[in-house]
Structures are given as structure tokens and as C-alpha cells.
Amino acid sequence: MASLETQETEATPAKEDQMDLGAKETGYPGPPRQRSWLGCHCSLLLRRDQQAQKAGQLFSGLLALNVVFLGGAFIGSMIFNNVSITLGDVWILLAALKTLSLLWLLYYMVGTTRQPHAVLHRDPHAGPVWVRGSLVLFGSCTICLNVFRIGYDVSHSHCKSQLELVFPAIEIIFMGFQTWVLWKHCKDCVQIQTNLTRCGLMLTLATNLLLWVLAVTNDSMHHEIEAELSAIMEKFSGNGTNTCLCLNATACEVFQKGYLMLYPFSTEYCLICCAVLFVMWKNVGRHLVAHVGTHPNSPPFRLHGAIFGPLLGLLALVAGVCIFVLFQIEASGPNIARQYFTLYYAFYVAVLPVMSLACLAGMAIHGLEERELDTLKNPTRSLDVVLLMGAALGQMGIAYFSIVAIVATHPNELLNQLILAYSLLLILQHITQNLFIIEGLHRRPLWEVAPQGLAGKPEAEHSRRGSLLELGQDLRRASLAYIHSYSHLNWKRRVLKEISLFLILCNITLWMMPAFGIHPEFENGLEKEFYGYRTWFTIVNFGLPLGVFYRMHSVGGLVEVYLGA
């Protein structure tokens, strides 16, 4: 009996091998293999976890969608029927949303993150230094904007309701606490209370999105400042007026100029917060493998012999700063002379073609390189691509509206021809730069390339080696073969570094000019007369913050391309 059992047990693997061999030879699948109970149970739990994650994402996304639609209905009703729905009603709704988001952020800090095993992983790609720095910079500017708003309202307290001071105060508290939470926890991958965390993040994201929509469409403060300036002129001319005038003219002028200068930063801040909150929402419940997505040996940011790119970029930066200062000095007066508009747009017409050519040269070098594509799933990189493409629509939209206005009115004047050339070149530069950055982000960095000397070895050969000395010799030979195989790409990498540095400095210049100064798109008067004040105000306030965000986001992407080269 023992010999029969032994023969049966020895025959079982042989039968399985014959069945597999027969299946390979005939091409038909063999009988299904039975899985163990533990494997079936683990796969079932994994499927249930994935279904729960998708359900939580769907529910929180629907929550944000409904909140955005509700707020959008309020803001749209205020614009088209400001008798039934006033700006005060919109402020009350946003104050309630900010209070709820503030309570959730406080609970997240005090309750969720302090529990054991709450944050087991942190996404290394989320929240880079430039994003967190921009968050703090624009958040501080937004807080200063609300301080100027409170000062302006206090100076008009004799003819304004004291209740209007509450809304900027709530926004200051909300912006300050939200900036601190996002700075500290933007890399978190929360593993507990996932549904509550997703809903809280989507509620906060919807609140920031509604604040951005209100900032884009609400021009009541600008109308109020213009009405007060015209009332002051009428008062000096001897005519009576019913407009609410400021008690202290000097303080009011400071508050007005500060508010108008810092107004675009509030829209920038809301956009950055939406991006960071979306990455945190995608990372809820995410499990990261220790070696995936990290760059333990990534090189620091150094010039590495790059000369021509930084020199040309510094030349563009110095010229841009000089033109920016001249334009700001002229803009401080009552009217801006046309030659300053000509100088401003001529600078753009000179810089944008060079940037487009640099991007085309970079794409050509990418095509010549023999580097693998990084196909690993990376939600941060996917969001970077979406934000890059979406933010480019802002300046491109303004450019298309300007093209239509110029062609339909006075296309033969020198300034209008410069604006037309500027608009066309701006569209071309956005397209080429997006292609260059996106292709560079999807290239695997050189420190991540698998050495071919080791990748091509069969496993049987590795199993026969038991000596550490032989393994060290193999690694040394693979490193030498790797250096030899990539030595012919040195000039290509050097050119990529030159191009990346030049584009970084140019994008910093083009970020600085609209971010901190008066906007020629609104001040030249051509499009404002063609489309009307309210329409062009909405177009510019929608497009310019996206344009500033695009330049800042492009700098971060170009730094990644530079380090990857």
C-alpha cells in the first residue's frame, strides 16, 4: 500500500506537467487550477477594498459637484438678477461653506492625523517646494488683500453696514488655517476615516472653487472705487453727489491701490489650493511601494557647465524688469502713454519666438534620445499635465478674444499690429512649451534607467553565483557599460539643460510682469471698448490668473525636465 501511495504522489506532478505540455502543444487551455482558500479570501478582500474606494470617491465627487452647482446658481443669479439675489446673499453662503470647511480642517488636524496608523505613507511627488512656497506667498497676499478690504470698509463705516466687516475676517481665518494645513499635510496618504476625509477635502475644494468663480465675476469693488473717484472729481468741480466718500483720503488711496494690486493673487491662491486638495483626495487610501516613485539618488539643482541658457535668460529677465518698472511708473499717473504699451508688447514679440524655437529644439532632441518612457502610475504627474494644459487656456483665451477684436476694428495701427502679433505668438509658445514639458516629464530620468548589463542576464546565471566578489565585479562592469552606452548623449543632455534653464528664467520674467503689475490687456482700452466693461473684466479675470498659474507651473515642470536631463 505504501508503495502504491508513493507511486500515485510521484505521478501527480508528472500528470500536471503532461497536461500543461499538451495544452501548450494543442493551443487549448487546460483545466483550471484550484486556488487556495487564503488566496481567494485575500483577492475578495482586495476587490471589496477597491469597490469601497471607488464608491467613496464617487460620493465625495457628487458632493463637491452639488456644492459647486449651488454656489454657481447663487453667483449667476446675482449677476443676472441682482435684485432677488444680492452680493450679501452670496457672501452668507460662502461664509457658511468656509465655516464648515474650517471645522473639518480642524478635525483633520486634531482628530484624524493623530490617530495611530492614520498616515502610513507620504507621496514624494505631491507638494513640491515651489507649490508650497507659492501657497504661502499667494496666501499671504490674499490675507493682505482682505486686510485692505477691511481698512477700506472701516474708512466708509459712516455709510456702510458693520456686518460687511465679518466676511473678510472669516476669510482671513479660513485662508490662514487652510494654508498651514496644506503646507503640513499635502503629502499625506490617509488610511483611516477615508470616506469622511474624501468628503471634507471635496467640500474644501468646492469652497475654494466658488471663491475663485466669485473673484472672477465680481467687479463690485472696482465699480465702487471708480464711482468714488468720479464723485471726488465732481465734488472738486462744485457739483453735488450722493456717493459714499472716504473720511481719510490718504488712507483710502492706500487701501484702494493695495486692493487692486493684490486682487489677482486671491484667484491664484484658490487655484493652487484646488490643485493641492485634489492630489490629497486622490491619495486617500493609497498604498505606496517603498521603491516606486522615489528618487534616492536624484541629483541636486546645479548648473553643470550650462552657460548660454542662463546668460540669455538673465538678459531677458533684466530687460523684462526694466520694462516692468517703466510701465509701473507710467501707470501711477492718470493716463498711460501709447509708447509704453508699444514697448511692453514689443518685448513680448521679441521673447516669445525665441522661447518657441527653444521648445522646438528641445522636442527634436527628445526625439533623438534613446531613453525609456516612465509608464508607472503617478497621479501627481497626471495632475501636472492636466493643470499645464488647463492653465494654458487662460492666456490663449484672452489672445483669441484680442485677435477677434483687433481684426474687427483697427488692424492697421502699429499698437494693434503688435497686440495681434503678441496674441498669435503667445498661442504658439504655449503649445510648443506644453509639448516640450509633457514629453520631458514622461522621460525616465537617467538615474532610474535599468542597467542593460544586469537586465539582460538570465536568472539561472545569477543563481549560480554565490560570491559577493563576483557580484561586485558584475556591478562594476554594468556601470562601465552603462556609462559607455550613454556617453554619446552628453551633448544632447547639455543642450537640454541649456534650453531648460533659458525657459525657466523666461517663464519667471513672464510670471512677474502680470502678477505684480498693472495689466495692459485691461488698460489699453481696445478690447474693453469692443466687448464692454463687464464682459472684458470677466474674461481678463478668468484668463490672467490662469496665465500666472501657468507660468509658475511651467517653472516647476521645467525644473523636473532639467533634473531629468
CA distance 565 to 562: 5
Terminal C-alpha separation, the chain: 70
Instruction: Answer for the pair 98, 170: CB distance below 8 angstroms, yes or no.
Output: yes
Three cell numbers, residue 423: 496674441
- DSSP E strand boundaries for 425-474: none
* Cα–Cα distance list, 160 to 154, 156, 157, 263, 403 (Å): 8, 6, 5, 21, 42
Q: What is the DSSP letter of 299?
A: P
CA distance 495 to 384: 24
CA distance 178 to 170: 12
CA distance 502 to 534: 38
Interhelix angle 379-408/533-564, rounded to 10 degrees, is 140
CA distance 168 to 150: 7
SS3 category, 409: coil
The count of other CB atoms within 10 Å of the CB of residue 138 is 28
Tens-level pLDDT at each residue, the chain (565 residues):
455 444 444 444 444 454 454 444 444 455 555 556 566 656 666 666 667 677 778 888 899 999 999 999 998 888 777 677 888 888 999 999 999 999 999 999 988 888 887 887 787 777 777 788 888 988 998 999 999 888 888 887 767 777 778 888 999 999 999 999 999 888 888 888 888 989 999 999 999 999 988 887 776 665 566 655 555 555 555 555 555 667 677 778 788 778 877 877 888 889 889 989 988 898 888 776 654 444 444 555 555 667 788 899 899 999 988 988 887 777 666 667 778 788 888 999 999 999 999 999 999 888 877 666 666 666 667 777 888 888 898 889 999 999 998 888 877 788 888 889 999 999 999 999 999 998 888 776 654 544 444 344 443 344 444 455 555 555 555 555 445 444 444 777 788 888 989 999 999 999 888 877 667 777 777 788 888 877 887 788 788 878 888 888 888 888 888 887 7
Strand (E) or helix (H) holding 122:
strand 119-122
Residue 248, φ and ψ in degrees, nearest 5: -120, 105
Strand (E) or helix (H) holding 211:
helix 194-217
Instruction: Answer for the pair 143, 176: CB distance below 8 angstroms, yes or no.
Output: yes
Rounded to 5°, angle at Cα 258 from 166 and 102: 35
